[in-house]
Structure 1
Amino acid sequence: MWGSFSCPLRALQLANQLLVAGVLLLVSGLLGAYGLSAQLSIGSQVAAHSLTIIGPALLKLGYVVRLAAQQQLHGHKEPCCVAA
């Protein structure tokens, strides 16, 4: 995974994956925690509520990695590595 951060294009791809994963976890957590709470067991509700914390955390992490990758790419006229 550390090799992804050495190349801005790979870091940008990783950031996009983190953003998508964060949105999916957040939406599924919200549906489970608030939309389907009557049908779920207490353990499933706890898991769904934890997804409402993990999802936004991945969103924030993906956003910061994306900003850092775009900052690195901004200074280069040509791509510095092979597209991932």
Structure 2
Amino acid sequence: MGQLCCFPLSRPQDKLNLLQSRQRAERTSVKKADDEELVSLSKRLVEDAVSRAVQQYMEETQQNGSAPKDQGPPGSAGTLNSTK
């Protein structure tokens, strides 16, 4: 019996702990992959929204003539300076 305690994972609790740690590692890697996918999707959504906003601005500018000199697209320096 003295030799059994020297072997790794000789106790059921040790085996259970190893199994649980492996399961946690698998969940962590899946969560990391999910997080990376969410970040990628978020970036694409933002890029798409910005692209659509720019396209809409360009279409409206063409329909209404050129934009006034003191105003530019939302967030431009001209607009920021006019709101003090």
Q: TM-score, normalised by structure 1?
A: 0.40
The structure having more radius of gyration, on CA atoms, is 2
Higher helix share: 1
Higher relative contact order (CA 8 A, sep 6+): 1
